[in-house]
Structure 1
Amino acid sequence: MLGFMQSPDGPLTRLRKSHEQSVLGLLRKHGPLSRAELGSHSGLSRTTLYDIVAGLVEGGAVVASTPPVEVRRRGRPVEKLSLNPNAGEAIGIDFARRAVHVSAVNVAHEMIGSASEAHASDLTWVQRVDIAERLLGSLGRSSQDDASVGRPPRRGTLGLDSLSAIGVGVVGPINDPGSADAHALSIDGLPGLLRERFGVPVLLDNNTRLAALAEAVWGAAADAGDVLYLRLSHGVGGGLVVGGSLHRGMYGMSGEFGHITVDPDGAPCECGGTGCLETVASIEAVLQRYRSAGGRAEDISAFLTAAASGDPAARTVLERVGTDVGTVLAAVCNAVGPGVIVIGGELAEAGAALTEPLEGALGAHVMPMARHRVRVRHATLGEAGSALGGIALVLHESPLLSRYPQPVTEELA
């Protein structure tokens, strides 16, 4: 992507890179700008700005254009500068428990595409990487497919040779892969496998934490500086944005909300604990509770359909789950003080049947001075969330990552 701007890390180089990032950030925020407008926004001197812009244009990160003849005013046309959407792509991959999700954006942060494929939980990493490579290839073929049916090719066709890194989300703590739960494979060797396939370094992190990052950058919490994200899926986990910065924790354990005890006398959890939130709020736990109450549902989709149709057993299950989730989140809120709670994952599709009891538990347990300040929102990025978080990790341009530890990386030899 922007690898052409990298150089030895001296003071002048750092200053120039700072100016370059400032100009790129302004173009990303405001869209096409003239040099005069860039100067006004950036505060850079005319000489410095012109030098920075010239380098960015020469390097291909920025393109210059003039308005079409039909929209020009009298006088000399004003040249506009904008990000070059074809300067490169960033790729994110989410290796979830039972699916692979991929997303790609261009250097202008325009979405090129996303794709997903479900799979059995016991696939090897080689098989999962095969799926990821095929899905990414389908994004790359999109413009050819458009042309074959007479549509104009879409901008930003995927070019894997322009990648500088890939951001990857995996299940479980990444600093201790051997302790990952039974649904997740050990990640030993995964970065090397991906590096061999794509020829670039790999940035690896917990996938629910990456989903939190994505929702805070592009999604439901883009306007908030303190965010708690919770995903209710085959596993239960999340992430925290505290003081405008993604929080990882010393051992990469931040956001393990699924392993907070909700019932000391409850079922054993795969983490070794008892009565964890995951034992009552994961998809498998919810389906088991529903079936025990006489309901019939082969999967989460059937359960959600039953709940939407007013099935009393399904509604009762969701009320209990929502209360348990809200009780746990209230404890986290009292400790961390987020302004926004984002609920994602398949179970969140239950809507008000889940969130109303959840908000009721928050109201009952969050400290009185704060309970009316916490807003609950539905995640907006869907299955692409973690993959988009991987992209944010690669771009590393968000202030949310300003104090974030360097993720696990395997550099090219």
Structure 2
Amino acid sequence: MLSGMHEHDGPLTRLRRSHEQTVLELLRKHGPLSRAELGARSGLSRTTLHDIVAGLGSSGAVVASTPHVEVRKRGRPVEKLSLNPAAGEAVGIDFARRAVHVAAVNFAHEVIGSESEAHSADLSWPERVDIAQRLLATLATGASENPGDGGRRERPGTVHLDALSAIGVGVVGPITDPGSENAHAQGIDGLPDLLRKRFGVPVLLDNNTRLAALAEAVWGAAADSSDVLYLRLSHGVGGGLVVGGALHRGRYGLSGEFGHVTVDPAGRPCECGGNGCLETRASLDAVLFRYREAGGRADGFAGFLDAAAAGEPSALGVLERVGHDVGGVLAAVCHAVGPGVIVVGGELAETGPALLEPVERALRQQLMPLARHHVDVRRATLGEAGSALGAIALVLHESPLLSHYPQPVSEENA
């Protein structure tokens, strides 16, 4: 990080450096801010702040910009200050069950690009890291070739891999200690070290669904709420909680395991050891199983999405029943934590109102009357890049949502 240079190290110089670090940290955490916003957050006087910002601007650490003409309001445009985009970059990687997603932002909080590639569920960790490295290299070179079957991209800029300061990583399942039995069972106990050796920078590791919750609460559908329940309906079912304006991890990293709330004690066995968990009824495989039991003939999940969009009765009937199951679980969790916003994401959410309307009906029916009109159900907005963006948030610590969050796993204790 660039900073003003001083010839002496007296009390005034140390005080100035402290003020500089305060301003730099605020811009690192919150992205572009006006001078008024910086003053309110830092507590510095207008004169002191003007002097500090001028010095940081001269050194190249901070740059100023105004909104584009089309987004300006009436009156003089408000200048925003941000860290120099060239000061560094952060990368997030989401190792989902059957795909790798990567995203990158610079220190001005500008998204440089994102990439995704699908793979088989049994792919080894070194092979998954190879995919991540290749996707990041694609962002770095700005290559424009077809990403291939199962690949998606959004690339407004080019990543400079030699400017990385850290990598945030999301993985499936509870994250406690990389040396724990849980980590060994997941096969991730060597992952942070593998990534550190590949990229040569610190690695921060956490549950990918919880990181998606963080991203939606920072940049996405729930950015206006301090109490958020996020549910992802994908190959697995999980979620995350933002409680009182802070991301909640739980004592053993088990917060947000909504997929293992029991819906039917006599239901199908779940991989967790229980029976009738929500995951056995609302994961993608479970939905396809229920759809075929109902006589549906579409092949694969993409075919199911097409059938639902076309209004096929068997597909809509399954979504109605899945929505009822999901809404019941959400109601139970709402009674425990009282969120203001529920965000539903994952591939199943692509069915839109066909799923979300039954979810809302069941939720309203099962919530206490007093709570029914205080919970807003929304569809996730960040798509498959959400967990990778949440991993970047973990690196940047750009939000007060992480102010009381336990220190994530890093390569120092890997």
1:7-406 pair list within 5 angstroms: 16-22=20-26, 28-30=32-34, 43-45=43-45, 48-54=48-54, 56-57=56-57, 60-63=60-63, 81-142=81-142, 157-175=158-176, 178-179=181-182, 185-406=186-407
Instruction: Provide Cα deviations, 1:148-183, integer angstroms capped at 9, x if missing partner.
Output: xxxxxx9853111111110000000111664479xx
Measure, in 1, the Cα distance between the counterparts of 2:295 and 2:30.
Answer: 57
* Deviation digits for residues 239-269 of structure 1 (CA, Å, limit 9, x no counterpart): 0000000000000000000000010110111
SS for the counterpart of 1:237 is strand
Q: Give 5+ residue unaligned stretches, structure 2.
A: 5-13, 68-77, 146-154
Give the distance between the partners of 2:297 and 2:139, measured in 1 at CA: 38
Q: CA deviation at 1:412?
A: 9.9
- Please report how far the alpha carbon of residue 297 of structure 1 lies from its aligned counterpart in structure 2 after TM superposition: 2.8
Deviation per residue, 1:348-389 (Å, 9 max, x gap): 011111111111111111111111110000000000000000
C-alpha deviation, 1:41, in angstroms: 7.8
- Measured after TM superposition, the shift of residue 44 of structure 1 is 2.0
Shift of 1:52: 3.0
Query: Counterpart of 1:164 in 2: which secondary structure?
Result: strand
Work out the CA distance in 2 between the residues paired with 1:41 and 1:407: 26
Matched AA of 1:398: S
SS state of the match for residue 131, structure 1? helix
C-alpha distance in 1, partners of 2:386/2:336? 26
Separation of aligned partners in 2, 1:108 and 1:247: 26
Deviation string 1:6-56 (CA, Å, 9 cap, x unpaired) is: xxxxx96766533433466676144xx6xx996588552356325532553
> Which one-letter code corresponds to 1:308 in the other structure?
A
Shift in alpha-carbon separation, 1:79–1:202, aligned structure 2, 3 A: closer
Whether the 8 Å contact between 1:245 and 1:404 is mirrored in structure 2 is yes
C-alpha spacing 1:335/1:81, structure 2 compared with 1 (3 Å) = closer
Superposition RMSD on alpha carbons, in Å? 3.0
2:10 maps to none
Q: TM-score, normalised on structure 2?
A: 0.85
Which stretch of structure 1 is more off in the superposition, 384-393 or 357-366?
A: 357-366
| Structure 1 segments unaligned to the other structure (5+ residues) | 6-10, 68-77, 147-153
Paired amino acid for 2:362: A
Contact 1:103 1:388 in 2 (8 A): yes
Aligned with 2:86: secondary structure? Answer: coil
Calculate percent identity across the aligned residue pairs. Answer: 72
Secondary structure in 1 aligned to 2:32? helix
Task: Report which stretch shifted further, 351-360 or 13-22.
Answer: 13-22
Aligned-partner residue type, residue 32 of structure 2: R
In the alignment, is the contact (CA less than 8 A) between 2:230 and 2:343 conserved in 1? yes
Amino acid of the structure 1 residue aligned with 2:88 = G
Comparing 169-178 with 113-122, greater Cα deviation is found at 169-178
Change (3 A) 1:3 1:211: farther
Q: Which whole-Å CA distance do the structure 2 matches of 1:350 and 1:79 have between them?
A: 41
CA contact (8 A) 1:235 1:283 kept: yes
- Residues 91, 102 of structure 1: 8 Å contact kept: yes
Q: 1:180 to 1:321 in 2, by over 3 A?
A: farther
2:21 counterpart letter in structure 1: K
Aligned partners of 2:307, 2:208: CA distance in 1, in Å? Answer: 29
Check whether the contact 1:106–1:156 (CA below 8 A) recurs between aligned residues. Answer: no
User: The residue matched to 2:213 in structure 1 has which SS?
Assistant: helix
Q: CA deviation at 1:310?
A: 1.1
Change in Cα spacing, 1:107 to 1:249, as seen in structure 2 (3 Å) is same
